[in-house]
Amino acid sequence: MNFKQILAAGVTLSAAALASCQDNSGLAHRSLAPIPPETVALMETMGTTKEAPMLIRAYKKESEIEVWKMRSDGKYAHLKTYPICRWSGQLGPKTHEGDRQAPEGFYSIGPAQMNPNSAYYLSFNVGYPNAYDRAWGHTGGSVMVHGACSSAGCYSMTDKQIAEIYAIARSALNGGQRSIQMQAYPFRMTAENIAKHRLDPNIGFWKQLKEGSDHFEVTKREPAVTVCGKRYVFNATPASGQADPAGPCPALRYDEEARSLAAAKAAQDDARVAALAGEIKPVRLVYQDGGQHPDFYAHVPDVSRPEAILPPAEIALEEKTRAAGKAVAKQAAKAPVAPAKTAAKPAPAIEAAAVAKASEPIDQTKVSALAAAQGSLGVVGDWLSPRKTKSAEVEQAEETGSIRTPPGDATPQKTKAKK
The answer to whether 280 and 192 have CB atoms below 8 angstroms apart is yes
Contacts 24+ apart (CB under 8 A), 76-79: 76/216, 76/220, 76/221, 76/222, 77/46, 77/47, 77/48, 77/220, 79/39, 79/42, 79/43, 79/46, 79/48, 79/54, 79/168
DSSP states of 248-290: ----EEE-HHHHHHHHHHHHHHHHHHHHHTTTS--EEEE-SS-
Query: What distance in Å separates the CA atoms of residue 245 and residue 247, rounded to the nearest whole number?
Result: 6
Cα 242 from chain centre: 27
**Of all helices (H) and strands (E), which one includes residue 56?**
strand 54-59
CA torsion through residues 43, 49, 51, 53, sign: negative
Identified catalytic residue from 85, 138, 146, 149: 146
Identified catalytic residue from 85, 154, 197, 293: 154
3-state secondary structure 376-403: CHHHHHHHHCCCCCCCHHHHHHHHHCCE
Cβ-proximal residues to 4 (8 Å cutoff; 6+ apart), any chain: none
Helix 203-219 × helix 348-359 angle, to 10°: 70
Could you tell me which of 215, 210, 324 has the C-alpha nearest to residue 272? 210
154 has catalytic annotation: yes
Could you tell me which of 246, 285, 304 has the C-alpha nearest to residue 364? 285
Query: What distance in Å separates the CA atoms of residue 86 and residue 102, rounded to the nearest whole number?
Result: 10
341 three-class SS: coil
Catalytic residues, by residue number, are: 146, 154
